[in-house]
Amino acid sequence: MKSRHLLWCGGIVSFLLWFSGMQLGYAQIVALGTEEGDSKPHYKASYSTAGILSNASAAHSIPSLSSSSSSKGEDNQLKVYQYKQENGVTAFSDHAPGATKYQVLLYDCYACQLDSSLDWKKMPLFSRDYDELINHAANTHNLEPALIRAVIHAESAFNVFALSRSGAMGLMQLMPETAKELGVKNAFKPEQNIDGGAKYLAQMLKRFDGDIDLACAAYNAGPTNVTHYKGIPPYPETQAYVKRVRILLERYRKPS
C-alpha cells in the first residue's frame, strides 16, 4: 500500500513538472549530469541555421514587463533579465524567469555593437596590461593567455571599472550571481575578476569540447542558447562578438 501511495505521488509530481514547462529544464540537467559519460553531447562550431533573429524575436513567447518601451537601439543589445528570488536576493539571467516578474535590462557589450566603426584588425591592442594576472589565470585554468586577453578586450576594452546597465562588472564583465558562484567577492579587483572570468571561460570550453567559438558564444549569450541552437546562436550581436574575439585572438597570439 505504501509503494502504491509513493507511485501515485510520483505521478502527480511528474504531471505538475510537465504542466509547468519544467521538463525541458530537467532534460538539460540530465544532459549536464552525464557530461563525463559516454552519452555526453558533442558540439561543433557552426552558425545556427535557424536564421538571424533579433533579441526581441528570441524572447517573443514571453512579454516584457519593463516599464520602458522597446526601441531600435534596445533591440541591438543583448537582453538580460533582472528579477527577485523568493529569498529577496536580486538575480540576473540570460532568459526570462518563468512566471516571476522581471525587468529587461540591456547588456552593453563592447564587441557586440553592430554599428561599430572600429577596425578590429588594426585597432590598438593591450598586449602588456595585467600581464602577470593573465598569465597566472591561464596557468591555473589551462587557457591560452591570448584568449583571456581577447575576451577582456571584447568585453570591456580593459576598463577595470566597466559596469553595464545589466550589472555586469569589471574587466571580464561578470554578472553578480556568476561572480558569486565563481568565488569572486569583488569583481572590480583585477586579480579576482580575471581569475573568475578565466575559470568560467574554461568551464565553457570544457562543456563545448574545447571549441573556442562555441565557448565564446556561451560566454556572451549563455550556454543554454548554444545548446538550444546546436551552434552559435542566431543573434547578430553574439555572432559579431564571436567573430571579433577571433580576430583579437589571432592578433594577441602574434608576438608584439
Is residue 114 within a helix (H) or strand (E), and if so which, with residue range?
A: none
Decide: helix, strand or coil at residue 82. Answer: strand
Q: CB of 106 within 8 A of CB of 80?
A: yes
Task: Determine phi and psi for 181, rounding to 5 degrees.
Answer: -65, -30
Q: Give the CA dihedral 183, 94, 23, 205, nearest 10 degrees.
A: -60
- Of 155, 177, 237, 250, the active-site residue reads 155
Cα atoms in the Cβ-side hemisphere of radius 13 Å centred on 66: 17
Q: Which residue(s) pair with 84 in the sheet?
A: 90
| 86 flagged as catalytic | no
96 Cα distance to chain centroid: 14
User: Where would I find the H helices in the chain?
Assistant: 2-19, 23-33, 55-58, 72-75, 131-141, 145-156, 176-181, 190-207, 212-221, 223-229, 236-253
**Which amino acid is present at 8?**
W
Give the residue carrying C-alpha cell 540530465. 30
Distance CA 211, CA 231 (A): 10
Decide: helix, strand or coil at residue 232. Answer: strand
Query: Could you give the residue numbers annotated as active site?
Result: 155
